Structure 1
């Protein structure tokens, strides 16, 4: 339990400082859960008015196009947050999938509980605003990278961002994240290795 509390409070402390009483209020707002690998925790159409804070394991968020191809938006590892932000912020049904790639433990914050926390611990509103802004910047950069960087450059950025889990991920997921087919990704990696 201490590790779980500590990881969440460390994450919050990157942006705001809470008093011991505020920390207790925050911790009491979260539920915890564990999921086995391959569990789909959110799917399109779900009422996904909550966000997960990852304590252990790896989750991914993605969409599936009309041809059945998955397009990965993000991976979430310990200390990261993951949600279907569309559903979370609008109250409408989810449009993304979130699934478990490696057995995980998460903390869950319901939207209604976050709204209550904003009143009881106003610093939390600042914390989540900063997270939302950082997410917006990261998503914008990803769109720009897709338009202006080569697949190799996007792969290098992926390696820098996800260096701690790159060896845990199937190659097809990395290919999906950087926006190429698995076949293209295999050839690209072979070329990179030959050049080294």
Structure 2
């Protein structure tokens, strides 16, 4: 059950078998059904979740009442609202919802701090994970501003080849910052070429 997360965390730092056993002892395994909102706007986020199986979306509702998708998290990805609830201790501004039946390995902020106290090398691994996440977020922001809709969609397909078969097209349009109708035109243009 822990091989996925152990491989994920060991990409950045090498750990002994004993350290990985300690790491695993701090995680809670959880099955969450499809269409479950795990976090509502205004709540405090009290988890960091590693996706063992399934697909999750993180989104907010803009001033016009439209859902804006910030992240899709599938197998081997992490999902949380670390920017507000965990590190800023402010109520979340986002929703986190399962799009498929999901399985997670989860930490609370408290259990993660206990892990760091007991096995300090994990703090380095999580720092690297955070840096990588920041780089991905900055790259996405840059591309959102500088790329055409076609370029954004092609890059999305390259980064997330399985997502189009797993989520409705209007979710992908929301993630790309375009209307579903415009996404249909982009897809038709690509298919034609």
Q: CA deviation at 1:158?
A: 0.4
User: Partner residue of 1:143?
Assistant: 141
TM-score between both structures, scaled by the size of structure 2: 0.96
Shift of 1:105: 0.5
Alignment equivalent of 1:8, drawn from 5, 9, 15: 5
Instruction: Name the structure 2 match of 1:40.
Output: 37
**CA deviation digits over 1:52-104, x for unaligned, max 9?**
00011100111111222111111111111000122122222111100000100
Structure 1 alignment gaps of length 5 or more: none
The answer on whether the counterparts of 1:35 and 1:100 sit within 8 Å (CA) in structure 2 is yes
TM-score of the superposition, structure 1-length normalised? 0.94
Deviation (angstroms), 1:24 = 1.3
Q: Deviations over 1:90-139 (max 9, x none)?
A: 22211110000010010110011111111211111111111111111111
Pairing partner for 2:192 from 182, 191, 194: 194
Unaligned runs of 5+ in 2: none
Report if the CA contact (8 A) 1:35-1:103 is conserved. yes
Selected match of 2:76 from 76, 79, 92: 79
Q: 2:130 is matched with which residue? A: 132
User: How many residues of Structure 1 are paired with residues of Structure 2 in the alignment?
Assistant: 192
- Which shows bigger deviation, 171-180 or 88-97? 88-97
Is the Cα contact below 8 Å between 1:48 and 1:88 reproduced in 2?
yes
User: Which residue of 1 is the match for residue 106 of structure 2?
Assistant: 108
Q: Give the drift of 1:23.
A: 1.1
Q: Cα RMSD over matched residues?
A: 1.0
CA distance in 1, matches of 2:163, 2:151: 18
